[in-house]
Amino acid sequence: MFLFRYEIEGEPASKANSRRIVKRGNRIASIKSAKALNYSDTFRAQLPPYPMPYIGDVKIEIDVWYASRRPDLDISLILDLLQGHAYVNDRQVKEQHARWHLDPTRPRCVIVITALPCDDPASGGRRRKGKRQDQA
C-alpha cells in the first residue's frame, strides 16, 4: 500500500561525515556539522503536513541527485529526518532501495514510502503503541 511520496530540494549531507567535536567548558560533545544542520532545516521545511506517522513496517525507495560526483550515497540522515513524520521510528524501515544520480543544477531526493504486509493480520498492518511485539 502506497503511503507517501516526497520530493525534497537540496543535497543531503552524509550522516557518517556530519558530526564535529566541540568543547563546551570541560565537556567534549559531538554535534551535527553545519551542512547537516542546514540540510535538516531545509528538509523539514519542505515536508508537507501529515496528521500522524504510520506505525507499521515500511519499504522506502530513495533516489538522490547530487550536485557533484564527490558524495557517497548515504540515506541515513534522511531516514532520521522522516522519524515522527512519515513513520514513528526508522526501525520500521524493513526494506530500502537507494539510487545515486548526478544533477549539478538541481540536487534533490525523491522518497517513496509504502506499507509492508504485516506478519499479524489481526493487527491490520499496525502495531499497537506501547506494547512489545511478544506481548501483543
How confident is the model over 45-78, as pLDDT tens digits? Answer: 999 888 899 999 999 999 999 999 999 999 999 9
Residue 132 in domain = no
Task: Please state, in angstroms and rounded to a whole number, the distance separating the CA atoms of residues 104 and 19.
Answer: 25
- For 75-108, how does the pLDDT look when each residue is reduced to its tens digit (9 = 90+)? 999 999 999 999 999 999 999 999 999 999 999 9
Cα–Cα–Cα angle for 9, 12, 13, rounded to 5 degrees: 150
Please, what's the b/e burial string for 42-66 (b: 16 or more CB within 10 A of its CB; e: otherwise)?
ebeeeeeeeeeebbbbbebebebbb
Of residues 57, 62, 60, 54, the one with CA closest to residue 108 = 62
Mean of the per-residue pLDDT values of the chain: 83
Q: What is the pLDDT of residue 89?
A: 95
Residue 133 in domain = no
Residue 19 in domain = yes
Pairing label, strands 58-66, 2-9: unpaired
Looking at residue 35, which CATH number applies to its domain? 3.30.1330.70
Residue 110 in domain = yes
Residue 131 in domain = no
Task: Please state, in angstroms and rounded to a whole number, the distance separating the CA atoms of residues 88 and 68.
Answer: 32
pLDDT tier at 14 (50, 70, 90 boundaries)? confident
State the residue range of the domain holding 22: 2-123
Q: Can you give the pTM of this predicted structure? A: 0.77
Domain total in the chain: 1
Of residues 68, 72, 75, 117, the one with CA closest to residue 96 = 75
